[in-house]
Amino acid sequence: MDIFAMFFAGLGLFFIGLRGFANSFKSSNGRLFHSLVKLAGKRRELTVLIGTFAGAITQSGVAVAYMIISLGAAGAINVRRAVPLIGWANVGTTGLVLLAAFDIYLMIYLMLGVVGVGYYLRLYDSERFRFPLAALLGLGLLLLGLATLKSGASHLNEVVWVNEILSTSPPSLVLLFLAAVLFGTIAQSSATAAAISVTLIVAGLFNMDQALVVLFGANLGSAICVYILGRGMTGVGMQLVLMQVWSKALSVLVLLPVLIFELNSDYPGLETLAAMLTEDAGLQLTLVSLIIQLVGALMLSYLGDTLMDIAEKVAPEGRAETMGRPKYLFDQALNDPESAMDLVGKEQARLVARLPHYLDSLRSEAQPGALPVIQLHTASLSLAAHCRRFISELTVRTRSAPSLERIAGMQSRNETLVHMLEGCQELSASLAHPFGEPMAQRMRNSIIEGLHALLLTLEDSLNDPEDDCEILLLMSSDRSGLMEQFRSDLLDSEASLSMESRRALFTTTTLFERLVWQIHNFARVLARSDRQRENGVESDLASLESAL
């Protein structure tokens, strides 16, 4: 019984350490990982290094895959360039399998000793030492769990009935494969199953054939896990889920027949190759695990575009996702700042054109098939985020003072646009209140139609800023007196309006007043940007004339 308790305790310590180690990086260095993923998306030569590093640190290809999925769905990275990262993160997870093959007690004792001293000295209270202590504690418990697991497994052979079962009726390879698929699905990691397999093969409980079968089964199980976790996603999110699933499944599909052929014939294969490179059984299993992950990573690196084409057909983008992506922005445009700013202006014009549609479901003239406000708002914020990132990159690459001034105006417009989008969403939600009284309905309709006219004028001002900006500035000038009169009428209408309707209308007037102020501010920024552009053109013409 003591041997089984030791084995079970080792398993528990291993899982506690694995989760603690990964969580220490997520909580402390989430921004670092996001920055690294974005960097790899821009520079393909760093993909192998960054992907492997991310997998080695988190020890979960699934975790890295979902980090990439979240960034891809938000439009923060170039999705196609980030696809190989998913495969190379899986390669990084084999570091855990490698550690399981060695005697690491001395390293464990040193790490836990350092953590203990750090806790005693209250270094954990310092932000500077909190992350390294948490990471060392997680890694120490993980390795202690592996060592305890290995020690418990080595003594299982001493149990008579276990020895008899293993010697007289070894487990079916098919059943082992299915059990490994189940374990890989539950554990969300093929590296975990591989590390445990190394401890079992070193202890003599598994032979190499059985351990290799477990390796392939766990790899397929982790692919199933990714699909189960991401089955509710659509568009880009689902496409990246499929990339991780196909990376795992295709490596199994390619290499498992090689193993089956080797086990049923005298021809060499994976097991023979590993035996040629090292005599240590644990290292042999580690090498095969590395080969499996490398095949998946290389497939995503060299066949990624083809697989993404298939994924886009299997999981096409929805209307909202398409609206959330830029039509005019592309990386090469950053080399020409003036043209790039014009492209940003076109994207911002797309956002302004959507503002009146926040009211579509509230107006009597609403068009059928309008996108729900929640989806419209999410897509619009995503597009605004694309513009913000593009403007930031443009700022870094631009040296001309007039261009930098114009870029600053673009940035100001973008931030004001985000506030206007938020304001329209809040006002739309407030106006959706079921006003039952005729007077409340008239007030509500008056606000809706007045705001709709104002937003249409705002859209026109982008096309003809010289004339329409003046009209927009006049229409959106100080409305505080009008709003005060409106609120006064609400207070005088106690007999004809319910408390709920009056409260909703009070909230609506506040939101309306704030939104009108934001529109006025946007019109001022737009007029200033137009003047800056005209001055820039005049300056360029003057420079050209002087040169001639």
Tokens of residue 164, six digits: 């008899």
Same domain, 410 and 520: yes
pLDDT at 537: 45
Of the candidates 317, 341, 361, which is a domain's last residue? 317
Banded model confidence at residue 422, pLDDT cuts 50, 70, 90:
very high
Give the structural domain span for 496. Answer: 322-547
Same domain, 261 and 360: no
pLDDT at 298: 92
Taken as a whole, the chain contains a residue count of 548
What is the arithmetic mean of pLDDT over 117-137?
A: 80
Same domain, 105 and 252: yes
Our count of domains for the chain comes to: 2
The torsion defined by the Cα of 416, 419, 424 and 430, in degrees rounded to 10, comes to -150
Same domain, 224 and 297: yes
Same domain, 193 and 217: yes
Same domain, 391 and 366: yes
> Can you tell me the distance from the alpha carbon of 176 to that of 469, in angstroms, rounded to the nearest whole number?
73
Same domain, 82 and 129: yes
> Can you tell me the distance from the alpha carbon of 66 to that of 240, in angstroms, rounded to the nearest whole number?
8
Q: Which tens digit of pLDDT belongs to each residue from 274-324? A: 888 888 887 888 888 899 999 999 999 889 889 999 988 888 877 777 888
Of 121-125, 376-380, 411-415, minimum mean pLDDT range: 121-125
The torsion defined by the Cα of 27, 32, 33 and 34, in degrees rounded to 10, comes to 100
Closest by CA to 398, choosing from 343, 328, 338, is 338
CATH of the domain at 393: 1.20.58
Same domain, 304 and 283: yes
Q: How far is CA 282 from CA 57, 156, 202, 217, in A?
A: 21, 18, 6, 18
* Predicted TM-score of the model (pTM): 0.66
Same domain, 327 and 303: no
> Can you tell me the distance from the alpha carbon of 132 to that of 113, in angstroms, rounded to the nearest whole number?
14
Average model confidence (pLDDT) across the chain: 78
pLDDT reading at 547 higher than 50: no
Same domain, 193 and 292: yes
Burial 309-322 (b: 16+ CB within 10 A, else e): eebbeebebeebbe
Of the candidates 265, 299, 317, which is a domain's last residue? 317
> Can you tell me the distance from the alpha carbon of 217 to that of 176, in angstroms, rounded to the nearest whole number?
8
Residues 6+ apart with CB under 8 A from 209: 173, 263, 271
Banded model confidence at residue 369, pLDDT cuts 50, 70, 90:
low
Same domain, 176 and 313: yes
pLDDT at 163: 53
Q: Is the CB of residue 352 less than 8 Å from the CB of residue 417?
A: yes
> Can you tell me the distance from the alpha carbon of 81 to that of 68, in angstroms, rounded to the nearest whole number?
11
Closest by CA to 519, choosing from 467, 483, 469, is 469
Of the candidates 261, 282, 317, which is a domain's last residue? 317
pLDDT at 251: 92
pLDDT at 129: 79
Same domain, 40 and 134: yes
